[in-house]
Structure 1
Amino acid sequence: MTALDRLAATIESRRGADPETSWTAKLLAKGPEKCAEKFGEEAVEAIIEAVRNDRARLTAEAADVLYHLLVMLAARDVRLADVLAELERREGTSGIAEKAAR
């Protein structure tokens, strides 16, 4: 089990937790739109650190992006396994060809 698998499992286990004791439960209780907004905020912060060329801060922000992506997916009942299966389906396909097929 990878760190992302463990994180996704932890997020899922917090779905019904008390929002007063779990940040994940608090985010999920606010609904999918708020989870998406938080993901967007974290993505922007990662972009800023990439532009600044601050490797340590970018690493930290990238971890936040992955966490908030998984929370957003959970809020819409999309499993990490489904996302990984989609990546596997695309494996070996040129990004240009994949985009053209959409």
Structure 2
Amino acid sequence: MEGEDPGGHVLTRLASTIARRAKERPEGSYTAKLLQRGVAKISQKVGEEAVEVVVAANSEDDDHLASETADLLYHLLVLLQARGVPLERVWSVLEERGK
């Protein structure tokens, strides 16, 4: 596995940052702005990013695919925060499915 952060450590840290932005709502924060717009808008962004991942997957450009996947994961984490679903719950579901 590439990088120094195996597993979901990067996602866990990002989810923590998103939670802080949700609480503090710093001015100029894209995350805070998204959260303020609500679940429907965040869901729309998740859909848009998912389509971009599909397009990138068919482009044969691995860097583009990685970038679009990162965007999708970020927006999914924002959606989880907006719905009050902790990332640990997702980890539990994945763990159960892996049995």
Relative to the length of structure 1, the TM-score reads 0.84
Within the candidate set 68, 84, 87, 1:77 is matched to 84
**Cα deviation code 1:22-52 (max 9, x no counterpart):** 1000000000111111011111111101011
Deviations 1:1-35 (A, max 9, x none): 81111000000000033464210000000001111
Matched, 1:7 2:14: yes
Contact 1:19-1:29 within 8 A present in 2 as well: no
Mapping 1:49-88, distance limit 5 Å? 49-88=56-95
* 1:53 Cα deviation from its structure 2 partner: 1.4
Structure 1 residues without counterparts, runs of 5 or longer: 93-102
Q: Higher relative contact order at CA 8 Å, sep ≥6: structure 1 or structure 2?
A: 2
TM-score computed with the length of structure 2 as normaliser: 0.87
Aligned sequence identity (%): 49
- State yes or no: 1:91 paired with 2:73: no
In the alignment of these two chains, the number of paired residues is 92
Computed over aligned residues only, the root mean square deviation of the Cα atoms, in angstroms, reads 1.4
Amino acid at match of 2:79: M
Partner of 1:98: none
Q: Return 5+ residue gaps in structure 2 as ranges.
A: 1-7
Max Rg structure: 1
Q: Does 1:38 align with 2:51?
A: no
